[in-house]
Amino acid sequence: MALNLGMKNSNKILSQMKSKVGLLSLIKQSSCTCSMNSHYNKTPLTAAPFARAFKSPDSNFRFSPSLFLARRFESIKAGKQLDSFGSSVNNQFLDFPGGRVAFTPNMRFISESSEERIPCYRVLDDDGQPFPDSSFVKVSEGVAIKMYNDMVTLQTMDTIFYEAQRQGRISFYLTTSGEEAINIASAAAIKNDDFVVPQYREPGVLLWRGFSMQEFANQCFGNKADYGKGRQMPIHYGSNKHNYFTVSSTIATQLPHAVGAAYALKMDQKDACAVTYFGDGGTSEGDFHAALNFSAVTEAPVIFICRNNGWAISTPISDQFRSDGAVVKGRAYGVRSIRVDGNDALAIYSAVHAAREMAIGEGRPILIEVKCLSFSIFLSVM
């Protein structure tokens, strides 16, 4: 009886092996035919007949991942294509998940950088006047005045709290000197329903949303009115009321969190996005790369705003990367990107406003690299 059972199992395995061998020969024959005849007009091989060739459902399940891209997310374009080999009239190509790839007989490596650097979007000239024919989103007089007032207020608050830290009244403080426009203009361009996942130089976003001077002081001094009950370091603000996630000191850990929050908004079909901030030093962390890829694959409505002032505390960008800043890193992950002048409030407002519309309307992540001349690095207290 055991012998008969063993014979049945061996025959079953042998039958499956024959099916696979026949399938491999079919693929090989088809590939040879396509490569030898550039005018191959028959219907390309698809996964369906291959799957039907197997008798065992288990075999089908094991083999199908090699023929079909798992369509976990219906909106992903790459997931809507099947593996197939074919050729056009003039050239040969590979119809691969993600898009059609043309073959070439020439061995050519992709250059490590383009000949010209990515330009920086700017609206205002050195005299504060818009460039002729410049494209930007116009703001009302009331919004413009509030932006200016909040930038001045932010700078004044930084000066007072920084001096308090130097006097020993509070234990820690970081300023946003030179980055006021990034804070206020980006906050003005988004909605209060949007989630803000900050680093530690975005108090201006809270200021724009209505966080009072007293609330800032409560947190920095860690008194009984502090929302965190004094359990956080100074400047580690957070506010449920203002959809402002609590600051974390660890570099770039907020980026994957922002993608997850944005994906939740997408699943709930909310008319909102997530906005996260980080410095150029954050692009050297693995979380940055994981977050960009995560956001691209899930098509999460998230806006990445990178404040590139050329320094990560005391580490210059020349010691961090050889690429043309952070803006070019987005394209490698399939993320639409732009470079903006960080000292031009109108440019920042326009770029973030457009990014929000694309993120929510088209269901995609956006990377904004903001070039700025910041003095914050000289005022950091270690």
**pLDDT over threshold 90, residue 75:** no
**pLDDT over threshold 80, residue 87:** no
Q: How many degrees, rounded to 5, is the angle at CA 356 between CA 353 and CA 359?
A: 150
Better-scored residue on pLDDT, 141 or 41: 141
Give the C-alpha separation, 5 to 134, whole Å: 80
Give the C-alpha separation, 36 to 125, whole Å: 60
Give SS3 for 136.
coil
Alpha helices (H) along 240-340: 254-267, 286-298, 327-332
Mean pLDDT over 251-279 rounds to 97
Q: Which of 105-109, 286-290, 323-327 has maximum average pLDDT?
A: 286-290
Better-scored residue on pLDDT, 83 or 219: 219
Predicted confidence at residue 13, as pLDDT, reads 52
Q: How far apart are the first and last CA of the chain?
A: 78
Please report the DSSP string for 56-102 in residue order.
-HHHHHHHHHHHB---SSTT-GGGG-B-EEEE-SS-EEEEETTEEEE
Better-scored residue on pLDDT, 236 or 318: 236
Predicted confidence at residue 288, as pLDDT, reads 96
pLDDT tens for 143-173 read 999 999 999 999 999 999 999 999 999 999 9
Predicted confidence at residue 35, as pLDDT, reads 42
Task: Grade residue 115 by pLDDT with cuts at 50, 70 and 90.
Answer: confident
Predicted confidence at residue 10, as pLDDT, reads 52
Q: Which residues of 44-55 are buried (b: 16+ CB within 10 A; e: fewer)?
A: ebeeeebbeebe
pLDDT tens for 2-54 read 445 455 555 555 465 445 444 444 444 444 444 444 433 433 433 333 333 33
Contacts of 75 (CB under 8 A, 6+ apart): 299, 363
Give SS3 for 337.
strand
Mean pLDDT over 360-378 rounds to 83
Q: In what order do the strands lie in the sheet with 366-371?
A: 195-197, 274-279, 302-308, 366-371, 336-341
Percent of the chain with pLDDT over 70: 74
Give SS3 for 267.
helix
Q: What is the DSSP letter of 177?
A: T
Q: Which helix (H) or strand (E) holds 336?
A: strand 336-341
Average pLDDT of the chain, as a whole number? 80
Predicted confidence at residue 56, as pLDDT, reads 40
With beta carbons less than 8 A apart as the criterion, state whether 123 and 134 touch. yes
Predicted confidence at residue 102, as pLDDT, reads 86
With beta carbons less than 8 A apart as the criterion, state whether 67 and 57 touch. no
Predicted confidence at residue 356, as pLDDT, reads 98
Give the C-alpha separation, 58 to 362, whole Å: 39
Global confidence as pTM: 0.75
Mean pLDDT over 262-277 rounds to 98
Task: Grade residue 73 by pLDDT with cuts at 50, 70 and 90.
Answer: very low
Q: What is the DSSP letter of 213?
A: H
Percent of the chain with pLDDT over 90: 60
Q: Which residues does residue 340 pair with via DSSP β-bridges, in sequence order?
A: 121, 370
pLDDT tens for 208-234 read 999 999 999 999 999 999 999 999 999
With beta carbons less than 8 A apart as the criterion, state whether 172 and 236 touch. no
